[in-house]
Structure 1
Amino acid sequence: MKNLYITLGFMLATVAVTAQTRETERADKLFARMEYVDAAKEYLDVKKKDDYVKKQLAETYYNLFNSKEAIKWYADVTKTPQDAETYYKYAQMLKAEGKYEESNVQMQKFASLAPGDQRAKSFLQDPNYLPKLRSQAKLFDEKKLDINDEKYGSFGGVLTNDNTFYFTSSRNTARKTYGADEQPYLDIYTATYNANGTFSEPVPLSDVNSKWHEGTVAVTADGSTMY
């Protein structure tokens, strides 16, 4: 009889794992391909969200840097003991939302599980470094530039000595979208910085851009070489 119970229990567990695998198969493939936007949709569609699905949702939103949704799922996942990296990622999402004290609680858990990790050592040396930095007087004033796009990201601006401005952007809607964030692949754009503080209309740098992502650029002082 004991052997019967053990066998039956094993069979039921196998059936449950198989059903869960089938239910998350598409989401798992999308996650593995870093197509996080679509992966999140698939995981959300799973009717019975067990610990595996909840953690996958937390990880997916972490990779999308959707801190609010990531916090929601990490909070649920960490009701049971987790690995060190999970606590670290949860802490980063809390920090992104300005929840520094809560972030420190998770970092303490991370540090206790991974005391040799340099991130843990740096945290323990100065747990409140970020609030200290934020309390310092501003060294610069920021303002929204007229070349920014409301919908698509732009970053990594470089202004050369001849007032040529280079930056990276995903605004080219004619491009194929990247599965990780459903934004077009990144291109390098250029514009001229005018004497009145405005910029000319940005244009893609066609002799540099490829069909894949183009990263941020660095330009030598004489403007002759781009890296």
Structure 2
Amino acid sequence: MKKTYITLSFVFAGLTLSAQNKHTQAADKLYNRYEYIDAAEEYLKLVSNNKADNYVYRQLADSYYNVFNTVEAAKWYAKATEEKQDAEVYYRYAQMLKANGQYEASNKQMEKFASMAPSDQRAVAFKKEPNYIPRLTDQQKMFDSKNMDINSEKSDFGAVLANDNTLYFASARNTSKKSYGWNDEPYLDLYKATRNEDGTFSKPTEVEGMN
């Protein structure tokens, strides 16, 4: 009789896994291709259709984590951690809460992470100084930052000013090009602008032969 029960348990477990794979197949395929924005949309459809489970909640959270959508990531990590998770989930949840300025809530999740993975260097660093972010924010501001006229609404970074006063930088401002599946942003191109004597910059142009 015990053998019968054991066999039936494996059968039911297999059926449950098959059903999950069937429901999440489209979303999982996108996720495994690093197309996190589209993957999140597919997982959200499962939520809307009442076909979501803890696996879907975690995949949703990880999708948003990978594109640094901190608000949505924290929302779905909260849902996922209603059931016990592995240590990395609590670490990621903590990072998203910290990015949202929720330091006390973040520390609670880091405590869980540290208790599950005490030898992890991230846990060791946290236990040594758990409140370093508030301490840093209390320090006197050393400089201000602001957008320049040549900045776009998209990502602009990696600027290097050459000796001839040419500024080179990467940008995702060309929205006419195909978007990158990872974050649904345009692919990066290399741009240049000339620094004028008054400190302003000329209109950026693409670097020929590099894009």
What TM-score, normalized by structure 2, do the two folds share?
0.91
Task: Give SS of 2:168's match.
Answer: strand
Partner of 2:164: 162
* Contact preservation (8 Å) 2:87, 2:113: yes
Q: Distance in 1 between matches of 2:175 and 2:77?
A: 33
Compute the displacement of 1:5 (Å): 5.2
Partner of 2:177: 175
* Contact preservation (8 Å) 2:54, 2:83: no
CA distances 1:52-79 after superposition (whole Å, capped 9, x unpaired):
1111001111001111111111111112
Corresponding letter in the other structure for 1:23: H
Partner of 1:117: 120
Task: Give SS of 2:209's match.
Answer: coil
Partner of 1:126: 129
Corresponding letter in the other structure for 2:193: A
21-30 or 109-118, which deviates more: 109-118
Compute the displacement of 1:154 (Å): 1.0
Partner of 2:144: 141
* RMSD over aligned Cα atoms: 1.8
47-56 or 171-180, which deviates more: 171-180
Compute the displacement of 1:12 (Å): 3.4
Partner of 1:29: 29
In structure 2, which of residues 77, 91, 107 is the aligned counterpart of residue 88 of structure 1? 91
Corresponding letter in the other structure for 2:80: V
What TM-score, normalized by structure 1, do the two folds share?
0.85
Compute the displacement of 1:2 (Å): 6.2
183-192 or 157-166, which deviates more: 157-166
Partner of 1:70: 73
Task: Give SS of 1:148's match.
Answer: coil
In structure 2, which of residues 101, 105, 108 is the aligned counterpart of residue 102 of structure 1? 105
Partner of 2:16: 16
Q: How many residues align?
A: 208
Task: Give SS of 1:143's match.
Answer: coil
Corresponding letter in the other structure for 2:45: D
Gaps of 5+ in 2: none
Compute the displacement of 1:9 (Å): 4.5
**Percent identity, aligned pairs only?**
57
Partner of 2:192: 190
CA distances 1:199-223 after superposition (whole Å, capped 9, x unpaired):
21111122333xxxxxxxxxxxxxx
